[in-house]
Structure 1
């Protein structure tokens, strides 16, 4: 596990000055009133759509695959709102990392914390399903302010960004753990800890099964949920951090705990988990991270989707 990182003077090297400038600018923006931050984020997202051509194509393709029953016009509305959400997501990362607790509490509502308490009273670990919404960073901060846990993450290749994201995420959580450290996650869950885990992305063919997800019949889905829950005995608790309409703040919704998830086969668990993830995404579909290639991995010999 990763504890609070120590700052190194090496992070002040000139090669990082551009990043420091961006961090400083983001910090200054977070000092502004929230309605101003909200407008800036939406504007940044609209601007990003004009320049992030490849990500626009990926997002459009994901929406085509996930929602084949919708018209092209309906999917374009999703796409427009999704890129506004991309810009807001950057601002919300700054909010999550830099705002004091009292200010976050002013703009955020949390419901369902009793679900976590119920699992803890049963002396069980909590496998917290944290889906890749663009509000992800702020959602983790909101959750940790109420019931601190352990975040699962991929260390960043850039030392400065790795230090910053670890520092930011640990403002209200206990520690971080590398997503490859399966034994460490199982050990923590057996000890009754809360592990933030995101099984909704395409992590490649290794350790995955092909099961339905939205409009795709064979979507590569991690077997991690099956392995973690089966080997630790943890309960599974989904959560949804979503933005309220018209810049009115945020809400973190902790959904009912599942004490007896279906764990007969990896495929059965993945099918069940994907249905829950779909339900969560549809609570704020325009705020989901559609700009990643969710359906890139294909069964052997099957043509690529992108």
Structure 2
């Protein structure tokens, strides 16, 4: 979306009725129909779609396999292939789980468990915001919905390039999150943290080194964002690790939320040490359910001089 656009998130525009948007409207109706299907059908469809995506999306498949090879050297070539395929299946399962969170949220009743809620409650009792350090999970907004059953989360998001799609997703997410904060809206993010809000924030992607450092991720140097250090310093918010994942039999899944104690001495005076510490927390989280992470992103794309290329 152009920064010059006058579009307001969630706002309907009459131009959305033009023929160029009809395909999106039809797709949304189709997705709503998928959301009312029984889970037994949804997970079979997701499995078939995930296998198809694994076979057809060659570039994403190659990136996923390479990421897993780098991060899990103990896996055999066969194990890497099997786990890589499961990443695509889990992503498709996450699409259906997100549709359920948007359109059929009662499906999650009795399926969600949480551990460590007291850590967010403690921060709020002290008048602090909570920067919830999470990951780009394949659960997508299903994880956010699970969290919303126990506390009132905000989320940092990247607007969609298509304004109609952005409006539709924004409105669906509004049923889950109290506030949706544009990733470029630093003032808004700071304001909400100072107001004591818990905000889901994922510092786990490669955005280069303009606002980051090279820090080990699964033992391999990776460009690691450090913006959260400045946020924590300016707002005095608590840095609290957050992880959610699907657990148990796929035919009858449960969803678990793991909230760890607030990090002490975060931020410290050592930018690299802080980045390494957060990466290690994310590593430990991802080892719980390795395929429920978006490994198809090029996590190691930034390679300064002297570093071996990964892709």
User: What SS does structure 2 have at the residue aligned with 1:253?
Assistant: strand
Q: Distance in 2 between matches of 1:11 and 1:146?
A: 36
Structure 2 residues without counterparts, runs of 5 or longer = 1-6
Count of residues in Structure 1 that have an aligned counterpart in Structure 2: 303
Does structure 2 conserve the Cα–Cα contact (< 8 Å) formed by 1:3 and 1:175?
A: no
Q: Distance in 1 between matches of 2:8 and 2:257?
A: 27
Could you tell me which residue of structure 1 aligns to residue 227 of structure 2? 224
TM-score by length of 1: 0.92
Structure 2 residue 47 is the aligned partner of structure 1 residue 42: yes
1:1-306 equivalences in 2 (<5 Å):
5-100=10-105, 102-216=106-220, 218-247=221-250, 248-262=252-266, 263-300=268-305, 302=307, 304-306=309-311
The two structures, once aligned, show a CA RMSD in angstroms of 1.9
Q: Residues 106 and 37 (structure 1 numbering): CA distance in 2 closer, same or farther, change over 3 Å? A: farther
Q: Distance in 1 between matches of 2:153 and 2:263?
A: 18
Does structure 2 conserve the Cα–Cα contact (< 8 Å) formed by 1:125 and 1:194?
A: yes
Higher share in helix: 1
Q: After superposition, what is the alpha-carbon deviation per residue over 1:56-88, rounded to whole angstroms, capped at 9, x for unaligned?
A: 111111111212232212211211211211221
Q: Distance in 2 between matches of 1:64 and 1:281?
A: 15
TM-score by length of 2: 0.91
Q: What is the CA distance between 1:284 and its match in structure 2?
A: 0.6
Q: Distance in 2 between matches of 1:107 and 1:3?
A: 35
Worse overlay, 52-61 or 187-196: 187-196
Q: After superposition, what is the alpha-carbon deviation per residue over 1:99-137, rounded to whole angstroms, capped at 9, x for unaligned?
A: 23x332243333332222121112111001221110021
Structure 1 residues without counterparts, runs of 5 or longer = none
Q: Distance in 2 between matches of 1:103 and 1:69?
A: 37
